[in-house]
Amino acid sequence: MTIDLSTDVSVIVLGVMQDGGLPHAGCRCPRCVEAFAHPERAGRAACLALIDARMEPAGVWLIDATPDIRWQLGDLAGVLGPHPQRPQRLRHPDGIFLTHGHFGHIGGLPQFGPEVMAANGLPVYASPALSAVIGESAIWRPLAGGLAWRDLFPDRPVELATGLTVTPLAVPHRDEWGAGTFAFQIKGPSRSLLYVPDIDRWEEWPAARAAVAAADVALVDATFFSTAELGGRPPVAHPLVPDTLAYFGMDAARLVLTHLNHTNPVLDGHSPERAMVYRSGAAVAWQGQVFGL
Ligand SMILES: [Zn+2]
Ligand SMILES: [Zn+2]
Ligand SMILES: [Zn+2]
């Protein structure tokens, strides 16, 4: 991936799939069979990079550490540049913001452990409860020295540079550890972007409409288009795409759909479901997409 950064501050989409990616482990659906046969059609787990090209070298932060992180860091090779001590390695990102503790959002963290990148004091921003869950688990202990946890609190902005803030917003989402889930509002010098990769129901987040209305662009949970994708399993707590489009009404034009399950027909360029998304004024995110902020 070549990244052309024409604006000072930008967000790059490094993945648009639900946690399991495309192809999905153990799946023989036509879309996954196709992606197994043609790896260039594979899709990575949902992830953003936030780049501040005003800094030298550029500031680079990831939103979530996905199981596909080695490819996603590779996509950023031109922006990261060489590691200061090890010129054949990439410089580490300046920090990672975690939305929540599910596999697709933290599964890449062990890549910073002693077996691979051996990070040293890599800032990882998370809720105190999430960093505690990870930090207290024996199997994650080898990582402990490599990561420098930074606490995130709802509605409290983190200022990364002049005119560049990341504000965590607490959203309702399946919460096995009482560690919560964050959406992030990213404000650059001229525009703002809202990132909500996982949420149970829009109706359970009273600030949802205001948060979308306040954003220039909102990348939102579009895991499933319909319950037909669930193969008879009980309904999963994610809003369905048509309901999301209807819920935001006129502001659907600000929505860019991400965190797509491998079953979601909007992944297909010519599906009626995808046409319906674009008719509503919304769009579907793509790997490599850049938003200037
Ligand atoms: Zn997820
Ligand atoms: Zn599949
Ligand atoms: Zn989740």
Q: What residues sit around ligand 3, an ion, with C-beta below 5 angstroms?
A: 102, 198
Structural contact between residues 257 and 224, judged by C-beta atoms closer than 8 angstroms: no
Q: What is the pLDDT along the chain (293 residues), one digit of tens a residue?
A: 666 666 799 999 999 999 999 999 999 999 999 999 999 999 999 999 999 999 999 999 999 999 999 999 999 999 999 999 999 999 999 999 999 999 999 999 999 999 999 999 999 999 999 999 999 999 999 998 899 999 999 999 999 999 999 999 999 999 999 999 999 999 999 999 999 999 999 999 999 999 999 999 999 999 999 998 987 776 678 999 999 999 999 999 999 999 999 999 999 999 999 999 999 999 999 999 999 99
For residue 265, which ligand has an atom nearest its CA?
2
> Tell me, what's the pLDDT at 233?
76
The Å distance, Cα 104 to ligand 1 centre, comes to: 6
Q: Is 185 left (phi over 0), alpha (psi -120 to 50) or beta?
A: beta
Distance in Å, CA 267 to ligand 2 centroid: 11
The answer to whether the CB of 249 falls within 8 A of the CB of 227 is no
Tell me how far the alpha carbon of residue 262 lies from the centroid of ligand 2, in angstroms: 5
What was the pLDDT predicted at 1? 65
State in Å: Cα 63 to ligand 3 middle.
14
Q: In a 3-state reduction of DSSP, which class is residue 167?
A: strand
Residue 285 · residue 5 · CB < 8 Å: no
Long-range contacts from 267-273, C-beta under 8 angstroms, 24+ separation: 267/22, 267/31, 267/43, 268/31, 273/225, 273/241
- The sheet with strand 59-63 has its strands ordered as 147-151, 122-126, 95-97, 59-63, 47-52, 9-15, 290-292
Q: Which amino acid is at 279?
A: R
Decide: 197 and 106 in contact? Cβ < 8 Å. no
Using the mean position of ligand 1's atoms as its centre, give its distance from the Cα of residue 102 in Å.
Answer: 6
Q: What is the pLDDT of residue 6?
A: 65
**59: enclosing H helix or E strand:** strand 59-63
How far, in Å, from the CA of 259 to the mean position of ligand 2?
14
Q: What is the DSSP letter of 250?
A: G
- Residue 174 Cα to ligand 3 midpoint, Å, equals 7
Q: Which ligand is nearest to the CA of 63?
A: 1
Burial of 28 (0-12, 13-18, 19+ CB in 10 A): exposed
38, burial (CB in 10 Å: exposed 0-12, middle 13-18, buried 19+): exposed
- Residues within 5 Å of ion ligand 1 by Cβ? 19, 104, 198
Which ligand minimizes its atom distance to the CA of 31? 2
List CB contacts of 54: < 8 A, sequence separation 6 or more. 8, 9, 161
Cα 237 to ligand 3 centre (Å):
10
CA of 54 to the centre of ligand 3 (A): 33
Confirm if 75 and 51 have CB atoms less than 8 A apart. Answer: no
3-state secondary structure of 72: helix
Smallest-distance ligand from the CA of 231? 2
